[in-house]
Amino acid sequence: MSDDAAPWLIVGLGNPGAEYAGNRHNIGFMVVDRLAERIGGRFKAHRARAQVVEGRMGPPGPANRRVVLAKPMSFMNLSGGPVTALRDFYKVPLERVVAVHDELDIDYPTLRLKLGGGDNGHNGLKSMTKSMGADYHRVRCGIGRPPGRMQVADFVLKDFSSTERKELEWFVDRAADAVECLVAEGLERAQSAYNG
């Protein structure tokens, strides 16, 4: 299979289970759920310990891309295993892997896209980088820092506040738009359109 025929693997990072569904840490899941709705797909269990949707994204013509949307069903800090297994299964080059994740050092609701870099203390990224290297794309969804003396772990595992929820639909849509732009038009175009 030539690299050109290889799909893009778009991974939403989060924790499986209803009790985590609305958490800040699960915004990656929310974004890939939105993308699955847009391409008309339903998540199915994959043997790589993940839920996946296969489909196509982007405008008709040469910019239309094969994609695999994925939600690892391990916990966040073990995301690297399922992602690497999916990458091997679908023969995806590392530069076509996109991690969609929450980011503490960016204000809510701001997006930043980049290729490669450190994990910034994010356990999902740390696990992915350990498994396959750092040169994959990231769609970083800003959630801001915890207020006062709240611990980071408590903050990320809480649901979005009622004030934040007013903008959450818009934010999830915008992140989904950014992923579509990245896949169809490349990183520079997506950065100039969506980096806040």
**Other Cβ atoms within 10 Å of 46 Cβ, number:** 21
List residues bridging with 99 in a β-sheet. Answer: 11, 138
C-alpha to C-alpha distance for 120 and 145, rounded to whole angstroms: 13
C-alpha to C-alpha distance for 58 and 5, rounded to whole angstroms: 15
> Is beta strand 111-115 parallel, antiparallel or unpaired with respect to 65-72?
unpaired
Q: Which residues are catalytic?
A: 25
Could you give the C-alpha distances from 107 to 89, 146, 196, in angstroms and in order? Answer: 36, 11, 9
Check residue 91 and give left, alpha or beta (phi > 0: left; psi -120 to 50: alpha): left
